[in-house]
Amino acid sequence: MPSVRPAYSTSSGAGAGDTKARYRRILRFAAWNLAVTWWFELFLPRVGLARVAERTRAKRMQRFARRFHDLAVELGGLMIKVGQFLSSRLDVLPPEITKELEGLQDEVPAVPFPAIRALAEAEFGAPLERVFDWVDETPIAAASLGQAHRARLLPADIADTGLQNVVVKVQRPGIEAIVDVDLAALRKVGGWLSHIRLVSRRADMPALVEEFALTSFEEIDYLHEAANSVRFAEDFAGDVRVGVPQVVWERSTRRVLTLEDVTAIKITDAEGLRAAGIDPADVAPVFASVMFEQLFTNGFFHADPHPGNIFVTPVPAEAGGQPWKLTFIDFGMMGEVTASTRSGLRKLLIAAAARDGKGLVAAIRDVGVLVPSADTVELERAMTHLFGRFGGMGFAELRDVDPREFRDFGLEFGDVVRSLPFQLPENFLLIIRTMSLTSGVCSSLNEKFNLWDSVEPFAAQLLKDERGNIAQDVGRQALDIASVTLGLPRRVDFLLTRLDEGSLPVATPRLERQVARLDRSSRRAASALVFAGLVIAGAVVRADDAVLGTVLMIASVLPLLHGLWVGRRGV
C-alpha cells in the first residue's frame, strides 16, 4: 500500500519583494564587515594602533563567524555553500571561524513534504504513486539546494534496474531564483573586493565568483550530477576500493534525481567502523590515495568529500579482495584539473615528497600559484628550511608545535612571510577545498595520520610513471628526429605508434630499403642522433626504472641500427 498522500497545492519560489530584500541583506552584511575590516586592519595600523587591531582580532573573527552563521541559516541557498567553503578552509582560516560554520549544513530547515511532492509530480507529469511504490515523507537530509527522501521502486522498475531501495533527491522549490539572487549579490561583493589591493594581488575575485557560479548552476542540474557520477564510476571501473550509486535514469530529471540507496557506515563514524571490524586508521590512507588519484591521475575529482558524502561499505568475504570499499555520493560539485595543471601538480607533489624546496618553488610557479614578482631565491630557502623542520610531520602534529617555532621561522624569513607571494588561480578554489576536506577526514579517522605518509608512496609511483613517460618521449623524439633526417616521415609512423603502445617495433623490409638508399653522411647523422637519444634516455632513467628504460632505448634504436646495417650491406 503506497504511503504517499495526494498532492497539496503549494506556492514556491521567492517573490520579487523577497528577492530584493534578500539581495540587500547580503550586500548590507558584506558592506558592514568590509568596513569593520578596513577600520581595524588598515586604518588603525596606519595611525599607529596596530596593537588594538591585534588584540581584538580573535573576538572580531568570532563575531563575524556567528553573524554569518545566523545569516546563512536564515537565508539558506548559496549562503550555506559559502559557509561550507569558509569552514573547509582549515588551512587559512582560524578555528574560531571554521568551528562556528562547521555544522551549518545540518541546520537548514526542511521543505514540507507537500511542496516536495508538488515539484516531483510536476517534473514527472504524474502522481507520485505512479512513479514510486513508496516514498518516505520524512527527509533523510535537508540540504541547501535540495532534500533527500528514501523510496521504493515500482515492481517494473525493480525488474529493469535490479534495485529496490532508492534515495530520491528533490530540489527546493524556487531554488533557481534564489541562486540567481545570491550570485548577483556575490558578484557585487566580488567587484568590491577586487578594488582592495590586498585581495586583488592574490586572487581574481570576479573570476572566483564566476567559478563558484558555474559550480552552483551545475549543482542545480541533477542530470549533470547523474552524468558526473557515471564518469566518476568509469574512472574507477574495476577498482575494488571505490563504489558509486547506480542512477535510475527513468526516474530522474533536472530537478529530481533517483539513486541506488547505498547507505552504509559514515566514514567518520569510528564506533560503527570498529563494530564492523574495520580499523578507522586503515581507512585514512586508502581514502587519501583515492582522492590523490582523482586529482593527480584522473583529473576529475569529487570537490565535496565531506564526511556526509562518503560511506564505508563492508564487502562480503566471498567477494574476495578488500573487505570494505569507499562509496561516494553527491556528485554535484566536481572539479577538473587540466593536463597542464595536473602535470604541475604532479611535480609539486613529487617535490613535496622529496622535501625538495627548489623543485617545489619551481612547481608552484608552473601551476600559477606564485605571484610573478616573487623573490624565488628567498622562497626556496624558506621552503627548504620548512621541510627540514616540519616536513615529516602530520597536520595533527603540526598543531602541537610550539608557536614560538613558527615565530622564529617568521623572523628568519620575514620578507617571504610578510609578502606571502602566493596567488589563487581560479581553478584552484576547488582543489584547495578538496585537499582541506581530505586532510580533515583523514585526521578525524586517525589523529596521528600523516598526510606525508600517503603522499610519499603516491609521489613515488608518479615519479616512476613520469620517468617512464620521459623515457618514452625521448625514445619517440629520437625516432622522430631520425625519421625526418632520413626523409622517412611516413614510413616510421607505425613504429611511433607501436612505441606508444609499449610494444617493441620491428624493422620492415620497406624501411630497410629506404635506409639502404641513404648516402653515407645521412646514415652517420642518423646514428649520431640515435646515440644522442640513447644518452639522454640513459640520463633520465634512473636505476629503479632500468628495465623500462632499456626496453625503450632498444625500441628506439633497433630498427635504425638494423636499417643502417642493411644499408651497409647495400641491399
Ligand X SMILES: Nc1ncnc2c1ncn2[C@@H]1O[C@H](COP(=O)(O)OP(=O)(O)OP(=O)(O)O)[C@@H](O)[C@H]1O
Residues 325 and 241 sit within 8 Å (Cβ to Cβ)? yes
Q: Minimum Å distance from CB 246 to ligand X?
A: 9
- In the block, cell 547507505 appears at 263
Is the Cβ of residue 330 or residue 545 nearer to ligand X in the bound state? 330
In whole angstroms, the minimum distance from the beta carbon of 56 to ligand X comes to 34
Residue number with CB closer to ligand X (265 or 379): 265
Q: Is 141 helix (H, G, I), strand (E, B) or coil?
A: strand
Q: Which is nearer to ligand X, 144 or 514 (CB)?
A: 144
Please identify, using beta-carbon distances, which residue of 333 and 353 lies nearer to ligand X. Answer: 333
- Least distance CB 302 / ligand X (angstroms): 11
* CA–CA dist 386, 253 (Å, integer): 51
* Chosen residue from 245, 285, 305, 335 binding ligand X by CB under 6 A: 245
DSSP characters over 40-93: IIIIHHHTT-HHHHHHHHHHHHHHHHHHHHHHHHHH-THHHHHHHHHHH-TTTS
Phi and psi at residue 481, to the nearest 5°: -60, -45
- Grid cell of 84 as nine digits: 561550507
Pairing of strands 141-142, 146-153: antiparallel
Rounded Cα gap, residues 166 and 322, in angstroms:
25
Size of the site for ligand X (CB under 6 A): 22
Q: Is 335 in the site for ligand X (CB under 6 A)?
A: no
Give residues 31-90 in contact with ligand X (rule: CB under 6 A). none
Give the nearest distance from C-beta 3 to ligand X in angstroms: 19
- Number of Cβ within a 10 Å radius of residue 170: 26
Closer residue to ligand X, CB minimum distance, 259 or 463: 259
Cβ atoms of residues 135 and 4 within 8 Å: yes
How near is the Cβ of 357 to ligand X at its closest, in Å?
38
CA distance 254 to 220: 8
Residues 117-156 that bind ligand X (CB under 6 A): 140-141, 143-146, 148
Binding mask 156-195 for ligand X (x = CB under 6 A): -----------x-x--------------------------
User: What is the Rg, in whole angstroms, of the alpha carbon atoms belonging to the chain?
Assistant: 29
Shortest reach from residue 261's CB to ligand X, in Å: 5
Return the DSSP state at 7.
P
Q: Which of residues 302-331 bind ligand X (CB under 6 A)?
A: 304, 308-309, 329-330
Residue 302 or 346 having the CB closest to ligand X: 302
* SS3 state at 243: strand
Least distance (Å) between residue 221 CB and ligand X: 12
Residue 216 vs 446, nearer CB to ligand X = 216
For the bound state, the minimum distance from the C-beta of residue 325 to ligand X, rounded and expressed in Å, comes to: 14
> What phi and psi, each to the nearest 5 degrees, are found at residue 322?
-65, 135
Please provide the DSSP assignment of 71-83 as one string. HHHHH-THHHHHH
In the bound state with ligand X, the residue whose beta carbon lies nearer, of 100 and 304, is 304
Residues 97-116 that bind ligand X (CB under 6 A): 105
Residues in contact with ligand X, shown as a per-residue x/- string from 248 to 287 under the rule CB under 6 A = -----------xxxxx------------------------
Residue type at position 2: P
* Residue whose CB is less far from ligand X, 104 or 445: 104
Minimum distance from CB of 88 to ligand X (Å)?
A: 12
Q: Minimum distance between the CB of residue 354 and ligand X, rounded to whole angstroms? A: 36
Identified binder of ligand X from the candidate list 83, 190, 285, 332, rule CB under 6 A: 332
Give how far Cα 7 sits from Cα of 10, 30, 117, 123, 152, Å.
9, 40, 6, 13, 19
Between CA 34 and CA 32 the distance in angstroms is 5
Q: Is 168 helix (H, G, I), strand (E, B) or coil?
A: strand
- Rounded Cα distance, 268 and 281, in Å: 11
Please give the residues from 470 up to 509 whose contact with ligand X meets the rule CB under 6 A: none
In the complex, which residues of this chain contact ligand X (CB under 6 A)?
A: 105, 140-141, 143-146, 148, 167, 169, 245, 259-263, 304, 308-309, 329-330, 332
